[in-house]
Amino acid sequence: MAWAMGDIERMEVYLSVLPNRSQDKSFCKGLLAVYRNQFEEAASYIHDARMEMKDDLVSHVTESYSRGYSQIFRCQLLTELEEVMAYKTAHDDKERQVAITSTWRKRLDGIQEDVGMWQKLLRVRSMVLRPILDLDTWIKYVNMCRKSDSMKIARHAIHQLLEDETKYMEEINRGEFDVPQKLAIQAQEYARLKSQLHQSRRGPITGSHWDSRERRFSASSANGQVPVSFDHSSLDAAIQISQQPALVYMYLKFKWANEERREAFQMLEMFANNYSSKIGFDPRNPNLFADQIDAHMLANASGSQADVADDTRMYRLLARFYFKRAEWLSTIQQTATLAQEARQKSGLGGGSNLGGPGDISLYSMNQQALIQQQQQQQQRMSSRRESIGVRRPRKSISSYNASANGAANLPANGGDDENCDEDHDESQTAKDADFIFRLKGDRINESILESYRAATVLDSKWYKAWHLLALRHYHETQRYDMEHATVPEDIIEKHVVPAVHG
């Protein structure tokens, strides 16, 4: 844990109480020796770690693949420690350093998508390769954490990326090393946005705002100082000044998965509009930009291939922004519709007490009606259990107190408190969905089609965007067909033809 958090002092304390023949002790001693550039001692500790794991490696490999994989992975960690030493000793040999980092990236393709394994690998590599310069790998790692529901680990990794970007941009502005002109412009823009953020907060974002007690075991903390960190309330502000659109996109997906859907969607629209304005893209008239892309590529064909690759990468990434916007709007539409139907069926008046578009208090309900509905549901569940011979679950004291006090948040599952947080998250998700649904109003279907169409223009070879665009046109045609006796020609031209031809 101390290694994962980058706390060197605590790591040394723990090492002093580990058994002398422990594999972890030799490995961690080698890790500390590499960090301190004591390469001869590090090589000795790495050799000892290999000798100590020899018997376990043979026995585990002969048992099964899964048992042997962890030992093989430990061997790889030792090998990468040696490669870190080679990277550090190759001060002036840039080709050697590039070859090592290229090997590391290729090697990840053969590693299981396990959060713990990737965390150890990235921690070793970060001693020489700062996270912001290995952004694609770190984004894959954060997405892996998000998909495995390791949200705290994902947030910690996002902290590291934002901290390292801050330090990297400050070093560029101080002129500590030469960078391409495009990167220098990004550093200047970062400093300008950060200054505006400081002014809006009436003071520099230090101390209580971005305070951190963690010491990073990485190249960015080689001087032993505590780097700038971001707390929960500052992450949104920090991401708004980031100069890495891929990092922004990854963070927005993290917020959406973390049940912060309203903020995630609003930030997604803001960034999509900002990036579109920078390249002159109008999502309401995407065909005009399609011709501009072809002309731009022909004009730059004889220029720098790096610039062409950067432009293409930006177009593809912006296509993901619009695709995710359409995907989230579809989810919001479905969630809000189901919630509204549920309220109408339960006799709570549907939208009688809901405000207009933009009203935040969209889910203010009659508390007594909600309590009555939940009590009726409990009675039905109790009678159903008795009819099939199932014992009635015990109710916690807190649920009895909530019932006695007439609280509106009485659990509807018979008083099981462990599901209260889950019910609250589902309620908040429904609130956010209804808020955005009413904010968009009648244009939500047009916005979904508009976003899918923008994604196909920005990335014309993306099959998934084309497929969902055609599927959405098909659904719109089906919906119109169910609501009307005949389908007029303008609807056919608007939805049927694009569903067939794109």
| DSSP assignment string, 122-147 | HHHHTTTS-GGGGHHHHHHHHHHHHH
What is the per-residue pLDDT across 394-412, written as a single tens digit (0 to 9) for each? 444 334 344 434 433 434 4
Cα gap 336→385, rounded to integer Å: 32
Q: What angle do CA 360, 364, 367 make, to 5 degrees?
A: 160
Give long-range contacts, CB 8 A cutoff, 24+ apart: 192-198: 193/240, 193/241, 194/241, 197/237, 197/240, 197/241
Q: Name the 3-class secondary structure at 318.
A: helix
> pLDDT band at residue 341, thresholds of 50, 70 and 90?
confident
Question: What is the predicted pLDDT for the residue at 242?
Answer: 92
> pLDDT band at residue 256, thresholds of 50, 70 and 90?
very high
Q: Quote the percentage of the chain above a pLDDT of 90.
A: 35
Cα gap 482→484, rounded to integer Å: 6
The 3 state secondary structure assigned to 371-439 is HHHHHHHHHHHHHHHHHCCCCCCCCCHHHHHHHHHCCCCCCCCCCCHHHHHHHHHHHHHHHHHHHHHHH
**What is the pLDDT averaged over residues 350-365?**
38
Cα gap 498→243, rounded to integer Å: 36
Q: Supply the DSSP symbol for 228.
A: P
Q: The tokens of 40 are what?
A: 């001869």
Amino acid at 447: S
pTM of this structure: 0.77
Q: Supply the DSSP symbol for 356.
A: S
What is the per-residue pLDDT across 293-307, written as a single tens digit (0 to 9) for each? 766 666 666 656 667
- Of 450, 481, 480, the closest CA to residue 465 belongs to 450
284 exposure class (CB count in 10 Å sphere: 0-12, 13-18, 19+) = exposed
- Of 90, 32, 18, 21, the closest CA to residue 55 belongs to 21
What is the per-residue pLDDT across 342-355, written as a single tens digit (0 to 9) for each? 877 776 544 444 43
Question: What is the predicted pLDDT for the residue at 353?
Answer: 42
List Cβ neighbours of 216 (8 Å cut-off, separation of 6 or more): 6, 126, 160, 163, 227
> pLDDT band at residue 135, thresholds of 50, 70 and 90?
very high
Residue 489 has pLDDT above 70, yes or no: yes
Mean per-residue pLDDT of the chain: 76
> pLDDT band at residue 377, thresholds of 50, 70 and 90?
low
